[in-house]
């Protein structure tokens, strides 16, 4: 599949149907994005070695799995309002190591859900800017409060849905 995509791009570039300037701009954007990823790694490394990181890991480790997932969800949500995907770089080093791949997946899903719900009311997102541009007559308090209510509803529904799930080990205990 990758080979066919590359061949198609080469043919389009060769025929002149796709100007080289477009490719150059795309590569320039990719370089800027790559620099941003390095900054995220720097933030993560900095947080990992902060004096309070050990205490935070201890707090997360002291929680049961459900509470830890909800704490990840809420923490990522609150940080994403200002930092967007920088929330991942801050929260991950504060979590204790997790051996179970299924639990790591659930924690990652909660982190993503937390970051994604921040866009509903964060003043730093393109979506909110678009709302204010398209509907300048809307008062800011209505936009932010509506977005916050939607985000809280999603986070609450997620916490309730996860609280109702039973782990496979628990299910087996009750059926035997």
User: How does the average pLDDT of the chain come out, rounded?
Assistant: 85
Q: 20 CB contacts (<8 Å, ≥6 apart)?
A: 13
Convert the pLDDT of each residue in 110-147 to its tens digit.
999 999 999 999 999 888 989 999 999 999 999 999 99
Radius of gyration for the alpha carbons in the chain, expressed in angstroms and rounded: 22
Answer whether residue 23 shows pLDDT above 90: no
Nearest to 114 by CA among 140, 142, 138, 90: 90
Answer whether residue 168 shows pLDDT above 60: no
Cβ atoms of 124 and 81 within 8 Å: the answer is: yes
Mean pLDDT over 43-69 rounds to 92
């Amino acid at each position: 599949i990758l080979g066919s995509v590359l061949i198609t791009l080469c043919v389009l570039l060769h025929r002149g149907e796709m100007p080289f300037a477009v490719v150059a701009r795309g590569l320039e954007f990719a370089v800027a994005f790559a620099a941003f990823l390095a900054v995220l790694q720097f933030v993560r490394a900095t947080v990992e070695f902060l004096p309070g990181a050990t205490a935070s890991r201890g707090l997360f480790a002291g929680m049961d799995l459900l509470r830890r997932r909800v704490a990840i969800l809420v923490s990522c949500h609150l940080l994403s309002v200002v930092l967007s995907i920088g929330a991942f770089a801050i929260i991950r080093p504060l979590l204790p190591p997790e051996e179970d791949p299924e639990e790591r997946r659930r924690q990652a899903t909660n982190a993503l859900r937390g970051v994604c719900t921040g866009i509903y009311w964060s003043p730093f997102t393109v979506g909110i800017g678009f709302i204010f541009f398209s509907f300048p007559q809307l008062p800011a308090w209505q936009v932010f409060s509506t977005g916050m209510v939607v985000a809280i509803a999603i986070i609450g529904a997620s916490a309730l849905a996860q609280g109702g799930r039973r782990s496979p080990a628990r299910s087996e205990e009750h059926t035997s």
